[in-house]
Amino acid sequence: MSETTNRFITYKDAAAEALLQAMEKDEKVFLIGEGADNINGVGGHALPAIRKFGPSRVIDTPICENGLTGFAIGAALDGMRPVLLHQRNDFMLLAMDQMMNQAAVLRYASGGRHRIPLTILSFVARRPGEGAQHSHSLQSVFAHFPGIKVGMPASAVDAKGMLLSAIFDDDPVIILEHRHNTLYDKEEYVPEKYYETPFKSNLVVEGLDITVVTVSITLLNALEAREELSANDILPEIIDLRWLRPLDIDPIIQSVKKTGRLLVVDTGWKICGISSEIIAQVCEKAYNYLKCPPRRITLPDAPCPASQFLEQYYHPSTEDIVKTVKEMV
């Protein structure tokens, strides 16, 4: 029997389904982290797993980012497939030694004898009034290090598929979800069957006039902008990056060769960010195809304000994309 195509679920429910299917598929998969057993925590991701497997495979921990990351690395070295929950990517900085000096290098340092099938699931918490310490978007920091993969799902179908790809990869993978309600509560068709999303970017919409590369929730802004721009006969080609590492640059290069223009929209900062890396590689490999200098839309070079009034101007918006594209085309 073919699968129904009218099954629409939210981004957060798709991620929860991925965790449950992974744990059903392999008894070595378990969830561990701060508040992991809280049925209302992290968008309810763990609720289906809690109901089916209980505390033996959904393990709550104290607030000790460095220690619990070390525990998960040890479990991965011993043949398990831990899914490590960090409630906020801001405080993953407390575990950088374990992640980058241990997990990211052990396969290389051991000559391939050790595998580290560790998935770190964390969240970019863009919510009104949470201030600088709870609003970082640190994907470019993590993606700087070789030996670790970094992904940011921008749709419900990828929230499931990318998490499953991460869990059953033999290298450490960081999945950063964006908690903003416009993405987290968005419903779309998601296959009920098990599937994995490849470590590739996604050509979302074909176009002719400009290549727009999006990261995470900025895909939704770009799609909204395209509707307005198409009324002015401007047709952007939109590529959702999906994975910052490995960086799937070839489809972006081919798109720029067609459109001659490049705009990168990122939820992080501009300096040393993924937008900088994408533009650098395009200039190295497709410079002669560019009709104008590439542009970036990112966070301002400042911490996130706690003021809700100011914060609405802090993050990339649909209006920013429309304005920038019109200036470039």
Q: Give the C-alpha separation, 320 to 113, whole Å.
A: 48
Residue positions counted in the chain: 329
* Amino acid at position 96, single letter: M
Active-site entry in 17, 65, 277, 311 = 65
Choose, from 17, 34, 45, 134, the residue flagged as catalytic.
Answer: 134
Sheet containing 119-124, strands listed edge to edge, beginning at the edge strand earlier in sequence: 58-60, 29-33, 81-85, 119-124, 173-178, 149-151, 243-245
DSSP 303: P
Alpha carbon 206 to chain centroid, angstroms? 22
Q: Catalytic site residue 134?
A: yes
DSSP H or E segment with residue 228: helix 218-230
Q: Is 65 a catalytic residue?
A: yes
How many Å separate Cα 148 from the centre of its chain? 13
Q: Which residue has the tokens 């929860």?
A: 16
| 150, 244 contact by CB (below 8 A) | yes
Within 8 A by CB and 6+ apart from 53, the residues are: 23
Kindly report the backbone phi and psi dihedral angles of residue 85, in degrees, each rounded to the nearest multiple of 5, phi listed first. -100, 115
Q: Which residue has the tokens 């419900």?
A: 156
* CA distance linking residue 87 with residue 152, whole number of Å: 15
Q: In the beta sheet, which residues pair with residue 124?
A: 178
Residues labelled as active-site residues = 65, 134
